[in-house]
Each structure stands twice: as structure tokens, then as C-alpha cells.
Structure 1
Amino acid sequence: MSDENAANGETPEVETPEATPEIDPIEALRAENAELKDRVLRTIAEMENLRKRTERDVADTRSYAIAGFARDMLSATDALSRALLVLPPEARESGDATTKSLIEGIEMTEREMQRLLAKHGVKPIEAEGQKFDPHKHQAMFEVPDPSRPEGTVVQVVQAGFAIGDRVLRPAMVGVAKGGPSHAPADETVDKSV
């Protein structure tokens, strides 16, 4: 075939191997070095994130590990509070020494339980006079009160408690109805427009 091309006056095709660019070994090593450096930096960053996440998980576990126990203790504390509430005032004043001792013992026990709960991070949720917050309060009833802003907690039926930023038990409350609505504190109305 090439003879025919030469006889016809055509230039013969020369088959040449494709030219492959030669890879500089130094550049290849630099690229590999950059890739390995990037992998090491990513691995270090992942390990640092894992360390921080683990520290946060350990701190949360320490803070919230007693949540179930604290919730149970709140029931016992409530029972002591109710026992003190049902005692008539005259039993405190005119009762015999045994009755007075029993009342003092119940009061001391309730105070000690409250102190121990507070020591472990269990704090009461402020509710009375606050704007109703469904994350912290459970509305039990509405109280018609035009003198109070609507949505204000006017009565606490059962105290709520939180541990850290988590609610253990929402406060059971009565909420005002019929008063002026709450104006958002952080929004100001521009009347000049």
C-alpha cells in the first residue's frame, strides 16, 4: 500500500508512536507530597472534631445523667410540699410537741431535697408573671383578667423544673385571657413611615 502511494506521488504515511509527555519525577513527588499533606490535615481536622464532639457528649452525659432520678425526686418533693399545705395552721401552733416535731421534720426534709436538687443543677422554672412559653409551661386553664396582658402566667398550679437548658417538668400554669396582647420586647414599631 505504501508503494502504491509512493508511485502515485503521495507521501507515505509514517506510523509514529504517540508522543507521551515525560513525567518529571520531582513534580510527581511534589504532587504526591501535597496530596498526602492534604490527607493528613483532613485527618487531623476530623480527629479534632471527634475530640470536641466526644468532650461535649461527656459533658452532656455528666449534666443530664441524673435527669430521670431528678424527675422521680421531684414527685417525692411535691408530696412533701402537699403534706405541708394540707396541715391546718392551728396544728402548727397549738399542736403537741410530737406534731410540731413532725411538721419541722417534713419542712427540713423538703428544704434538704430542694437544696440537693439545686446542687445537682435542677432549678425551678420561673413562671408567675412571665409570658407563657410552651417550651417551659403547660397551660392548664385560662383566667379572664383584663388587667393583665393576654398570655401572661397568672397562677402556678405545679412548679416546673429544668436541668441545664432542658426542661425536666414544665410548670403547670393558669394563663391570663382578655387583657392587652404582649408587644414583642425586641421589636420596635417605626411610626414615622
Structure 2
Amino acid sequence: MAGRGVQRLLRQSYVVLGASALRTCPRWLCITATHQKSDGKNSDEHQRQNQSEQKDELTAADKRLMEEKYKLEDQLKELNDKYLRALADSENLRQRSQKLIEEAKLYGIQGFCKDLLEVADVLEKATGSVPKEEIKDENPHLKSLYEGLVMTEGQIQKVFKKHGILKLNPLGAKFDPYEHEALFHAPADGKEPGTIALVSKVGYKLHERTLRPALVGVVKQA
């Protein structure tokens, strides 16, 4: 009997404790579920906020990258322009230097040639001053001297021609201010105005450049 009474008391206690647990459990479960729901909402909002912040950060970074890109493109364009200008300047300098070198080769003897022109003028005057009628076998010394002067004058003209020096004797040609220097203007019958009627002193050119203009008299309108 005593054993049965103990068993009955244990069953009653178990029923009481079970009922109490059933009464308290739903509140705990509700609270837990509410917290879980609240935590889920907060987590979603936090995630959306993080995504928005990341999007803003990406947008700002993209703007900075685009600004850097445009800046680098401008710098590249500026450097390319400078390079092209420097390349053009160097090419122009090379061409000018080449032209100066070629002109120096052609006209480097210009000063020396001008000095030799005076020698050619003296030889021309000397041969022109000898009376042609006196050049006879009866005057062998004068004849030899004259022939020597003529040969010397011819030789110096060959040397001039070899180095590009051309003699200008523009008698009867049109007056050219780049090659001739007018000493006077005078009317002349039967000659066209603007032509050269008298050559007082011959001129010379060195490779298409006037070394010394010819001194001339020009026909003017009557």
C-alpha cells in the first residue's frame, strides 16, 4: 500500500510540473520568436544600409576614377602635342642645319673669290690697254707679254668656272636689279628702254648668288 501511495504522489507531482511547464513555455517561445523576428528585421535593415553605403562608396570611387582618367587623358594629349612640336622643331632645325652646311660648302669661298675678282679686273684692263696694232713680230717682248696676260686671264677664268663663278657681261640685256647696278640712265637711238647700253665693270655670280653686280648704263625713254 505504501509503495502505491508513493507512486501516486509522484504521478501527481509530474502532472503538476508538466502543467506548469506547459503554462510557462509558450511565453518563452513567443518571446524567443519575437526576438528572432526583430533580429531578422534589424539584420535586413542593416544589410540594406550596408549595401546603400557600399553603393555610395562605389559611386564616389567611380567618380574619382573617371576624374583621374580624364586628367590622365589630358596629360597624355598635352605630352603628345609637346612631343609632336618638339619633333617638328627638331626636323626644322635639322633641315636648316643641312641647308647651312650646303651653303657653307658652296659659298664658303665667297670672300676669297671677291679678292680674286680684283686680280681678274687688273688682267682684263691690262690686256685691253695694249694696242692691237702693236702686237707684231717686230715687238716680240710686247707680244710675249700680251700673250702671257691673255693666257693668265683665261686660266683664272677657268678656275672661276670650276668653282662655280660665272662672269656677267650683260651688254644689250634687260636690266636686272639683282645682277646689275645702274650708274646712269641715258637715251640711246635704236635701243629699247630698260636695256643695258654700256658695261663699265663686269659682274660675277657664285652658284646663282650675285657675287658682284655689273656696273652698267641703262637706256631710258627719250
What's the TM-score once normalised by structure 1's chain length?
Answer: 0.73
Report Cα offsets for 1:62-95 as digits up to 9, x if no partner.
2222111111111100100111111111332234
In structure 2, the residue matched to 1:120 is: 163
The runs of 5 or more residues in structure 1 that have no matched partner are 1-18, 180-193
From the superposition, tell whether residues 178 and 34 of structure 1 become closer, same or farther in structure 2 (CA, over 3 Å).
closer
In structure 2, the residue matched to 1:3 is: none
CA distance in 2, matches of 1:63, 1:43: 30
From the superposition, tell whether residues 171 and 31 of structure 1 become closer, same or farther in structure 2 (CA, over 3 Å).
same
Aligned 1:1-193 pairs, distance under 5 A: 21-24=63-66, 25-178=68-221
Which structure 1 residue ranges, 4+ long, deviate > 6 Å from structure 2? Answer: none
3-state SS in 2 of match to 1:107: helix
Q: CA deviation at 1:157?
A: 1.6
1:146–1:178 Cα contact (<8 Å) kept = no
Report Cα offsets for 1:21-40 as digits up to 9, x if no partner.
52424444333333222222
- Larger radius of gyration between Structure 1 and Structure 2: 2
Amino acid paired to 1:166: R
From the superposition, tell whether residues 97 and 30 of structure 1 become closer, same or farther in structure 2 (CA, over 3 Å).
same
Amino acid paired to 2:206: I
2:169–2:199 Cα contact (<8 Å) kept = no
Q: CA deviation at 1:141?
A: 3.0
1:146–1:177 Cα contact (<8 Å) kept = no
3-state SS in 2 of match to 1:93: coil
- More helix by proportion, 1 or 2? 2
The runs of 5 or more residues in structure 2 that have no matched partner are 1-59
Report Cα offsets for 1:16-62 as digits up to 9, x if no partner.
xxx99524244443333332222222211111000000011111222
What's the TM-score once normalised by structure 2's chain length?
Answer: 0.64
Report Cα offsets for 1:67-125 as digits up to 9, x if no partner.
11111111100100111111111332234444332222211111111111121121123
3-state SS in 2 of match to 1:178: coil
In structure 1, the residue matched to 2:56 is: none
CA distance in 2, matches of 1:126, 1:59: 28
CA distance in 2, matches of 1:142, 1:95: 44
1:137–1:171 Cα contact (<8 Å) kept = yes
CA distance in 2, matches of 1:149, 1:29: 73
